[in-house]
Amino acid sequence: MSRSDTRVVVAMSGGVDSSVAAALLVEAGYDVVGMMMRLWSDPTMGGAEHNRCCTPVQMNDARHIAEKLGIPFYVLDSKDIFRETVVQYFIDGHRDGFTPNPCLECNRRIRFDWLLRNALALDADFLATGHYARITKDDGGWRLRRGVDADKDQSYVLSVLGQEQLRRALFPVGEYPKSKVRKLAATLGFDVAGKRDSQDLCFLGKSDYRSFLRLHAPDVIAPGPIVNRDGLVLGQHQGLANYTIGQRKGLGISSREPLYVLAMDERRNALVVGARDQLGRDELVAENVNWVSGSPPAASFRADVKIRYRARSQPAEIEVMADGAMKARFDQPQRDITPGQAAVVYRGDICLGGGVIAKYENRSAAQNGSTHIA
């Protein structure tokens, strides 16, 4: 199969990374088709009618880049499925007292499922995106690796992929440092080269997630008690979704020593706070675990675990539990293990997989029989 017979659908956002990805594929001689998904955005919020991933400006930018590269460009109406999956996941997660990461869910349900299936239906062989990650193949199958640019590495949000997806995925910019990608964009004459990277959740429009939840899941924002670990009521909170683990400011209670959010107890709608030294946790359990290779490397093994997109990975002992869940015991306590975020497991630069953090605890506490489970 020659490259010109190999069709690649590239997910274009109008931004630097996906534009350069498209250009690299065209240069390599593939039959490249540009595609953008029209995603859902809350039409009632702050006058922002457009999802931040597909504003009219971005759509025009992507279309112009595609014209420049001489490739077709299509916009796929994906509003309904995005609302039903990713946005609902976000709302449900908060309702259950979690802080969900919808970007992983988007990669799982939208980009590498809905979009991939649409690409394959168009007779594409591959789906390419502008992610900073790499794919290699060896006897163990397809491997997901960190991008060469450690600061930009996005393997965390791709940890939901399996062999079926990696076999069909291309990440052309993962081989380059971001600085080089920006330079390439400038060389290619893309006027996106100065754009800043996108950050917040795409479907919130101009709003923040708290007002979003107030509108779409008002029950999540119900006030309740702020308690310490002994159950003593110290004040009132404004809805659990307003807080994150490790948060100190904005609790609205006075205390001799600084208090931090330790946990959300959604059963009692209580916000559990405590001193800084009560914050660290050295163990977590993650559920809904995906192993990139299809199965864990061993029943227990040493690895590095990343508990947030922006966190550094930390050494831990991994244990695969009977029900498929994964326990990670960190060498050092972690301050902000947050249920709903992903715990992603690495060995060197290989991403082995990950799961959604369901609970966390302290080994020491567990040993003396007073487990605190959030």
Partner 1 sequence: MRASRQVYLDHSASTPVDPRVLDAMMPYFSDIYGNPTSAHNQGRDAARVIEAARETVAAILNCRANEIVFTGGGSESDNLAIRGAAWRARQHNLSARLITSPVEHSAVANTIAQLRDLMGFESVAAPVDRYGLVDEDAFVKACNDGGAIASVIYANNELGSINDLPALSSIARDRGILFHTDAVQAGGQLTLDVERLGVDMLSLSAHKFYGPKGVGVLYIRSGLDLPSAITGGGHEGGRRAGTQNTAFIVGLARALELAHQAKAERCAHFRLMRDRLISGVLTRVPGAQLSGQPDKRLPSHASFIIAGIDANALLMHLDINGIAASSGSACMTGNPEPSEILLAVGYTAEQAKCGLRFSVGVRTNEDDIDYTVDALARAVDKLSQLSRERAP
Binding status of residue 72 toward partner 1 by CB under 8 A:
yes
Residue whose token pair is 């199969």: 1
Binding status of residue 117 toward partner 1 by CB under 8 A:
yes
Binding status of residue 74 toward partner 1 by CB under 8 A:
yes
Q: Starting at the earlier edge strand, list the strands of the sheet with 270-274.
A: 233-237, 224-227, 270-274, 260-265
Binding status of residue 37 toward partner 1 by CB under 8 A:
yes
Of 28, 57, 122, 222, the one binding partner 1 (CB under 8 A) is: 122
The nearer residue to partner 1, 113 or 175, going by C-beta atoms, is 113
Stretch that binds partner 1, among 69-77, 174-182, 250-258, 276-284 (CB under 8 A): 69-77
- Catalytic residue, chosen from 53, 54, 103, 202, is 202
Binding status of residue 292 toward partner 1 by CB under 8 A:
no
The nearer residue to partner 1, 85 or 278, going by C-beta atoms, is 85
DSSP structure string for 168-195: TEE-GGGGS-HHHHHHHHHHTT-TTTTP
- Calculate the CA 15 to chain-centre distance: 18
| Number of chain positions touching partner 1 (CB under 8 A) | 26
Q: Residue 103 catalytic? A: no
Binding status of residue 22 toward partner 1 by CB under 8 A:
no
Per DSSP, the three-state class of 331 is: strand
- Residue type for 76, please? L
Handedness of CA 15, 17, 19, 20 (dihedral sign): positive
Shortest distance, position 76 Cβ to partner 1, whole Å: 6
Q: Residue 53 catalytic? A: no
Among the listed residues 75, 82, 69, the one whose alpha carbon sits nearest the alpha carbon of residue 192: 69
Where in 41-60 is the site for partner 1 (CB under 8 A)? 54, 56, 59
Of 48, 64, 68, 114, the one binding partner 1 (CB under 8 A) is: 114
Give the phi and the psi of residue 71 in degrees, each rounded to 5.
Answer: -115, 150
- Residue type for 197, please? D
Binding status of residue 194 toward partner 1 by CB under 8 A:
no
Q: Which residues of 207-243 are buried (b: 16+ CB within 10 A; e: fewer)?
A: bebbbbbbebbeebbeebbbbbeeeeebeebbbbbbb
Stretch that binds partner 1, among 2-10, 164-172, 180-188, 189-197 (CB under 8 A): 2-10
Binding status of residue 265 toward partner 1 by CB under 8 A:
no
Shortest distance, position 248 Cβ to partner 1, whole Å: 42
Q: What is the CA radius of gyration of the chain?
A: 22
Binding status of residue 75 toward partner 1 by CB under 8 A:
yes
Provide the phi-psi class of 87: left if phi over 0, else alpha when psi is between -120 and 50, else beta.
Answer: alpha
The nearer residue to partner 1, 117 or 137, going by C-beta atoms, is 117
Q: Which residues bind partner 1 (CB under 8 A)?
A: 4-5, 7, 31, 33, 36-38, 54, 56, 59, 63, 72, 74-79, 81, 114, 117-118, 121-123
Q: Which residues are catalytic?
A: 106, 202
